[in-house]
Amino acid sequence: MQAEQTGLTLTQHIRLEQKAHASATGEFSGLLNEILVAGKVISREVNTAGLKAEMVLGVTDNVNVHGEKVQKLDEYSNNTIIHLLQRCGYLAIMGSEENDEPITIPEKYGKGKYVLLLDPLDGSSNIDVNVSIGTIFSIYKKISSGESGATEDLLQPGNRQVAAGYILYGSSTVFIYTAGNGVHGFTFDPSVGEFLLSHPNIKIPQKGGIYSVNEGNYNLWSNGQKKYVEYLREIDKATGRPYKARYVGSMVADLHRTLLKGGIFMYPADKSSPEGKLRLGYECAPMAFIVEQAGGKASTGKQRAMDVIPAKLHQRIPLYIGSKEDVEMAEKFLAEDL
Ligand code: AHG
Ligand code: MN
Ligand code: MN
């Protein structure tokens, strides 16, 4: 019998990626591998959630810094990643959507030179209904002088990211990441317990045919935003309109589709959220890094999303992200609002 040609595992890919850097010490690979383990644990929990609904589904008694009710699976994912990553020795400090304040690393575990920002579980409103959810992460190098890291380490602009990625718990579990050398995707094979390379060097189409936005907010939008969506709905064969509308309500799922098929995902500022809804550090910046590395574009409508300097850990920005030509068209319409 011939040996099976097993594809590159994620662990191998990360190691080869790191090997390309002369100054590599192995810490970066180590860190990504720890995130990978957390992803496997959360993936198992998400996949069997319905079987232990009482314990895993529904809301906790807690409300997070954003005023949102914390779901049991949000809390589980957050605790899982934090406990695992605090022990890894590669991190100086962490920030998470579910923690008001920066998360420190206990002395006994030792500290490293990296900084991690997390959305432990994205798409909370879809947890209980078996719709795709995910985990988003963003990695920086520590810039503060002390060993323990400081808030300034968590407030770096997206253009300083060393790596970013997401794990999508969908019809299959996929791990997508960039370390600044293209975007690579891996699919989890539960029978061997490994992520295997399934989407090498992902490139986003320059122009798509799908738009993704919560249109329920239409009456809260600016004129430019309304006009842009109306434009996408007009019939014009030559420019591929009308676009299709697709909105899952989990950024990870909407972004994954946008990355593979092209088009635009947006969460605009509106009258009830004048700064937008999505958080810069652990939602917008990592997704912007991934989409730019795939040849796309990410904007606040006015400027490159990765150039925004965060003023606070849980800062929000408006986001327009996806195919380059689509994002540029959105920016043109939004210029009317200025
Ligand atoms: P989270 O579950 O991490 O709080 O993020 C939810 C975000 C994002 O996943 C999604 O794109 C957006 O909120 C959906 O918001 P609306 O329900 O307002 O459309
Ligand atoms: Mn989120
Ligand atoms: Mn979340």
Is residue 87 predicted with pLDDT exceeding 80?
Answer: yes
If one residue of 99, 220, 278, 319 were mutated to test the ligand 1 pocket, choosing by the most ligand atoms within 8 A of its CB, it would be 278
Do 116 and 85 touch, CB atoms closer than 8 A?
yes
Kindly give the pairing relationship between strand 210-212 and strand 264-267: parallel
Q: What integer best gives the mean pLDDT of the chain? A: 94
Alpha carbon of 297 to ligand 2 centroid (Å)? 20
Is residue 22 predicted with pLDDT exceeding 80?
Answer: no
Alpha carbon of 136 to ligand 2 centroid (Å)? 8
d(CA 91, CA 332): 41
Kindly give the pairing relationship between strand 173-178 and strand 91-96: unpaired
Residue nearest (by alpha carbon) to ligand 1 atom 11:
251
pLDDT of amino acid 70: 87
d(CA 306, CA 160): 8
Cα-Cα-Cα-Cα torsion 279, 218, 238, 293, nearest 10 degrees, comes to 0
pLDDT category at 171 given cuts 50, 70, 90 is: very high
Share of the chain above pLDDT 70, in %: 97
If one residue of 131, 251, 319 were mutated to test the ligand 1 pocket, choosing by the most ligand atoms within 8 A of its CB, it would be 251
Superfamily of domain 3-199: Fructose-1,6-Bisphosphatase, subunit A, domain 1 (3.30.540.10)
Alpha carbon of 221 to ligand 2 centroid (Å)? 21
pTM metric for this prediction:
0.96
If one residue of 128, 131, 168, 277 were mutated to test the ligand 1 pocket, choosing by the most ligand atoms within 8 A of its CB, it would be 277
- Give how far the C-alpha of residue 184 lies from the chain's centroid of Cα atoms, to the nearest Å: 14
Q: Give residue limits of the domains in the chain.
A: 3-199, 210-337
d(CA 133, CA 301): 26
pLDDT category at 2 given cuts 50, 70, 90 is: low
Alpha carbon of 30 to ligand 3 centroid (Å)? 24
Average pLDDT in the 110-119 region?
97
d(CA 70, CA 57): 11
Query: What letters, b where the CB count within 10 A reaches 16 and e where it falls short, cover 293-315?
Result: bbebbbbbbeeebbebebeebbb
Helix boundaries (H) for the chain:
10-19, 27-47, 53-56, 72-86, 151-154, 223-233, 251-261, 285-293, 324-334
d(CA 282, CA 122): 10
Residue nearest (by alpha carbon) to ligand 1 atom 14:
249
Alpha carbon of 277 to ligand 1 centroid (Å)? 8
Q: Which CATH number among 3.30.1360.100, 3.40.630.30, 3.20.20.100, 3.40.190.80 corresponds to the domain 210-337? A: 3.40.190.80
- pLDDT tens digit string along 196-239? 999 999 999 999 999 999 999 999 999 999 999 999 999 999 99
Q: Do domains 3-199 and 210-337 have the same CATH topology?
A: no
Alpha carbon of 42 to ligand 2 centroid (Å)? 15
Q: Which residues line ligand 1 (CB under 6 A)?
A: 68, 97, 119, 122-125, 214, 249-251, 277
